[in-house]
Chains A and B, each alone.
Chain A
C-alpha cells in the first residue's frame, strides 16, 4: 500500500511540475516580460496592393507615346490612428489645419457609411507631389496609421493625340459594381484607347502582406510571402497612328475647328485622327486633372469633343463621287453621259444653283468641276428608275448603297463613343411629307446636303473605299497587342457592291479635280510628284460660314493614304480643307514639304479661323 502511494505521488508530482512550469512561463510571458506586449502592438499585418505598371503605348513606327510615372498616395488605417501632432502633419503635406480637418471629416463620414474599412488601408490624401512625398517620408514615423502607397500614373511623351489616347481616372461606383477587379481609388481608362484596351493595359494587381511596427515601418513579409501575389504588368500596345503625322496635322489645325482623319486604305489603319481644338493629354494626369477637366469641359470651343467620331456634318459635294458610282452601278448613266447645266438645275419653279463652268460636261468633268446640276440628274435618274415601283423603293435602293459604304451606322472602330451619322430612308420622308414626295423633293441629297449627316471618320473611310476601288477595312487604331491578337473584325473586308470598273471614271474625275487645269476645283491640293486624287466639298452650315471639306487619296495607283478633312467655317473646300489634305499627304508620303509649297504650309498653319480674320 505504501508503495502504491509513492507511485501516485510521483505521478501527481509530474502533473504538478508541468502545471507550475506553465504557470511560471505564462507569468513571464504575460506579466513580467513586456516585450511581447510591444510586439503585439507592432505586429500588424497590412495588405499592400502592388499596382502593376500599365501597358505602354507605341505608335506605328514604334515610337513611345505613353509611358508611366510613379505616384504616391497617403493611405490611412483608421484603427491604427493615434493622437498626433497635426501642425507637423499639415506642414509636411503643406495643407492648412482646415483642410486636414476636412480630410478627417471625409474619412469619418466614409467610415460611418461603411464605404471604407476600419482595419484596411484606404486613401487619405491622393497623389502626393514629389515635394510632399519627400517631406512626409521623413516624418511618417510620427503619424501612426499612415503610410504611403506607390502607384503609377500616365506620362505622355508627346502633347498630341489626346482624343485617341483618352486618359485614366479614378473608377466610379458603377465600375466597381461591374468589375470586381476594381476597388475604390483604383484607376481605369476613360475614353480613347485607354478605355477600349483597358483590360489589356491594366495588367493584374498583386498583393503583398507585410508586418509593420508601431510606427508604420515594414518589418518584413508576412509568413515569408507565402500569400503574396506578384503584380503582372499590363500589355504594351502599338497603335496605327503615326505620331509625327499626328503632330503635323494638329499644327496645321491649330486655331481652327474641325478634324482630320487619315487611313491606310490597304489595311484600314488610322494613320492620324485629329480633333481640333485639342488639348495636351498631360493636363489629364494626376491631381491637376480635376481642375483642367472642368476648364476644358466648360470651354465654348469644346476641346473635349472628339469630332472625327462624334461630330456629324453634311458631306457636301464630296458625296458626288458616291452618287456617280451608284448611277453607274444602277445603269442610269455611263461615263459619257452628259447633262446640261445653266448656272444650276431648274425644274419649274425649283432651282438649285451651280457655278459657272462649261456645259454640258461628262462624268469625269462633272466631278472635277463639281457640277451640281449633273448630280441632280443622276440622283433623280437613280430614284425614278423604272425598275422601281415607287419613289420610296428607288430611294431605299439608293440608301442601301450608302449603308454598304458605311454610312448611317457605326463603323465599329475602336472607339465606343463613335456615332452612327444619319442616312434618311423613305419612311423618314413619308413622315415629313405625309407620303407625298418625289425625287425632286429630296434632290439636295444629290450634292451631299439635306438630311444626310456623316462623321469625318466615315468620310475618310469613303476616301479609302474610293482608293481601294470598292472595298474597305473597318478603320481602327490598334495595330498590335503584346502577346495577344487585335479584334478579328478589323481583318474583315467590306465590299460596297459596286463593280470595280465603275470606280475608274470617278477616280479619273478626282484626279482631274486637282490636276485638270482651268475649271478644276482643287488645284490648291497639287503635290509635286504625287498623283493625288481628291474631291472638294462645302458643307452648308445654317449657323454661319460653311464648312470646308475635302477627301483625297494618293498615290492614284497603289494608294497609301486616304484622308478626309473638315474645317468648320472654312468656306469652300478648296480654301482650307484641300490644301491641308495635300500637306498631310505630302508629309506622309514624302516626309517633308516641297519648298515650293512652304508658303502654303505657313498660310495653313497661321490661318486663324477662331480668333483672327480669315
Chain B
C-alpha cells in the first residue's frame, strides 16, 4: 500500500510537532472565541468550527503532496512561480481590501491570499536556481537572476500594501548565506537595522560620525595606523574647509553637508591608496560607510515625510520613546497585559478574561499567542517557543541530510520562513517587534495561512522521503 511505502520514510517527528501545533492552535482559537456570557459548547458559525474544516482539508492537501513525485516540485517550480506572480499581480486590481491591504481574492465564501502560494513558489524557484551545479554568488548574471526573481513578487506584495508579508521575503537571506553568500551581507543587514533604529533616536550627524569612527576603526584593524591617520586628517580637513567656506560666504551652517564633503575626501584618498597599494579591505569599508549613511538619511526621510502620524507613533511606541498605552501602543499594551496576566501556570483553559471581550485585537489570528499566554501561562508560551525552535532545528538538520541541493536549499527556505513568522509574530505580542500583521504558523485562525504553511512544510517532508536520491 501507498501508506506503508511512505509511512516509514516520512519524518514522523516533524509530523508530530506539526500535529501538536495544529491541535493546540485549534484549542486556543476555540478559547479566543469562547463567550463565557453565553457558553455554547459548539457553535457552527464560529471560527473554531471553520478552522476544523480547514484542518480537515489540510489532511487531503498533505495526502496529495506526499503522493506527488518529488521531481514534480522541481519541474513545475517555474510554472508555480509564474502562476503566483500572476496572482500576486492580479490581486492588486481584483483583490478585496482587508485591513488596508489589497491582498485577498474572494470567491464566494472562500478567501485566498496569493502571498501564501508566492512564498512556496519563490522558495521552490530559489532552490532550483541555486541547486544548479553552475550556480555561484560570484557570477553576477546568476545573482541578478536570483535578485530579479526575488524582487518581482516582493514588489507586487508591496503594491498590495501588505508590508508585513513582503518583509517575509527578506528572510531568504538565510538560505542565501547558507549557499555561499558572503557573510558581509548578513552583517550589513544587521548593521542596517541597528543604524535605522539609532537614527530614530539620535540626530543624523551623530549617527554619521559614529559610522565614520567605526570605519576608521575598521581601517585601523584591517590596514594600519598610517592610512587611518591620513584618512582621519583628510576627513577632518574636508569638513573644516567646507565649514570655513560656508562661514566666509555667510551661508547657514549645514553640518551634514560638511560631513559628507569630509567623507568624499576620505573616500578619494582611500580609493587612490587602495588602488596603488592594492589594499582589499578598502572596498567593503567604503561600501559599508556610504550604505549606512544612506540608510540614515533614508530612514530619517521615511519616518518624517513618508509615514503618517499614526504609523510614526507606532514606530516610536514600539521603540519605547513614547508611552501611550491607550493610543498607538494600545494593541501591544493589551497583548502584553494579557500574556503577563497568565503568570507561571496560566488562568486555566477558557478562563482568560483579557483575550475575550475585544481587549486584544485580532485575538484568533495575529494575536492568538496572547490566548496561549493568558490561559496556559509561562509553561504554555515556553512550550510554544520551544516547539518552534525545535521544529526549525529539525528542519535544518533534515536539510543538511539531503543528497540533492534542491531539497537542502528548499529545507532552509522553509525553516527560515517559519523562523521569520515566529520571530515577528511572537515578538510583536510581547513588544519586541513592530506590529506587523502576519500569522503565527499553525496557530492563527485562517484557512489560507494554514494551507500555505502546511503545503510549505509537507513539500519538504515529501522531498525528504527521497533524501538519498538526486532530484533535479
Contacts and interface: CB of A to CB of B under 8 A. Distances in A.
Contact of A117 (B37, B343, B354, B423): B37
B115 to A, nearest CB: 23
Contact of A40 (B338, B385, B427): B338
A10 interface: yes
A11 B177 contact: yes
A511 to B, nearest CB: 74
Nearest to A119: B37
Contacts of A14: 174
Contacts of A23: 382, 385-386
Contacts of B400: 8
Interface string A12-37: 10111011011101110111010111
B218 interface: no
B341 A37 contact: yes
Contacts of A22: 385, 426-427, 430, 432
A19 B389 contact: yes
Given A18-B423, A224-B327, A31 B385 contact: no
Given A22-B432, A224-B327, A119 B339 contact: no
Contact of A30 (B178, B373, B415, B426): B373
B385 A19 contact: yes
A30 B339 contact: yes
Contact of A26 (B359, B378, B423): B378
B340 A43 contact: no
A45 interface: yes
Contacts of B334: 43
B140 to A, nearest CB: 22
B419 interface: yes
A45 B378 contact: no
Given A10-B177, A19-B385, A45-B359, A26 B430 contact: yes
A16 B326 contact: no
Nearest to B356: A119
Contacts of B373: 26, 29-30
A15 B432 contact: no
Contacts of B336: 29, 36
A349 interface: no
A544 B419 CA distance: 99
A285 interface: no
B326 A211 contact: yes
A305 interface: no
B439 interface: no
Contacts of B378: 26-27, 30-31
B287 to A, nearest CB: 21
Interface string A31-61: 1010111011101010000000000000000
Interface stretch (A62-70, A215-223, A269-277, A562-570): A215-223
Nearest to B361: A223
A459 B340 CA distance: 76
B331 to A, nearest CB: 10
A16 B382 CA distance: 13
Closest 5 A/B residue pairs (Cβ): A36-B340, A40-B341, A19-B389, A30-B378, A29-B340
16 contacts: A10-B177, A11-B177, A11-B178, A11-B396, A12-B393, A19-B385, A22-B430, A25-B432, A26-B373, A26-B378, A30-B342, A33-B340, A36-B340, A37-B343, A40-B338, A117-B37
Contacts, number: 110
Contact of B339 (A7, A11, A12, A29): A29
Interface string A107-118: 000000000011
A223 B326 contact: yes
B206 to A, nearest CB: 27
Given A23-B382, A118-B37, A119-B37, A12 B396 contact: yes
B341 A31 contact: no
Interface in B131-183: 174, 177-178, 183
Contact of B343 (A7, A30, A39): A30
A120 B373 CA distance: 25
Contacts of B423: 18
Which of B341, B359, B432 has the most CB atoms of chain A within a 10 A radius of its CB?
B341
Contact of B340 (A4, A16, A37, A220): A37
B357 A15 contact: no
- For chain A, the bracket of interface size reads 35 or more
A118 B353 CA distance: 13
A37 B378 CA distance: 13
B469 to A, nearest CB: 20
Interface in B223-271: none
A43 B337 contact: yes
Contacts of A4: 178
Contacts of A41: 341
B91 interface: no
A35 to B, nearest CB: 8
Which of A12, A26, A221 has the most CB atoms of chain B within a 10 A radius of its CB?
A26
A22 B383 CA distance: 12
A398 B412 CA distance: 104
A25 B337 contact: no
Which of A22, A23, A37 has the most CB atoms of chain B within a 10 A radius of its CB?
A22
Interface of B: 36-37, 174, 177-178, 183, 186, 326-327, 330, 334, 336-344, 353-354, 357-359, 373, 377-378, 381-382, 385-386, 388-389, 392-393, 396, 400, 412, 415, 419, 422-423, 426-427, 430, 432
Nearest to B342: A30
B393 to A, nearest CB: 7
Contacts of B396: 8, 11-12, 15
Contact of A39 (B177, B341, B357, B393): B341
Given A15-B393, A221-B326, A26 B357 contact: no
Interface string A188-216: 00000000000000000000000100000
Given A8-B400, A22-B430, A15 B178 contact: no
A29 B359 contact: no
Which of B330, B337, B400, B422 has the most CB atoms of chain A within a 10 A radius of its CB?
B337
A492 B340 CA distance: 70
Contacts of A224: 326-327, 330
Nearest to A40: B341
Which of B183, B336, B344 has the most CB atoms of chain A within a 10 A radius of its CB?
B336
Contacts of B419: 15, 18
Given A8-B400, A22-B427, A37-B341, 10 more contacts: A10-B183, A12-B396, A18-B422, A21-B432, A22-B430, A26-B385, A30-B339, A30-B343, A36-B341, A119-B37
Contacts of A11: 174, 177-178, 396, 412
B435 to A, nearest CB: 14
Which of A11, A31, A211 has the most CB atoms of chain B within a 10 A radius of its CB?
A11
B70 to A, nearest CB: 23
B344 A30 contact: yes
B340 A15 contact: no
A535 to B, nearest CB: 68
A194 B183 CA distance: 81
A317 to B, nearest CB: 68
A527 B276 CA distance: 127
A343 to B, nearest CB: 83
Nearest to B354: A40
Contacts of B327: 224
A462 B141 CA distance: 105
Given A19-B385, A119-B357, A222-B326, A31 B344 contact: yes
Nearest to A27: B378
A9 B265 CA distance: 40
A141 B377 CA distance: 30
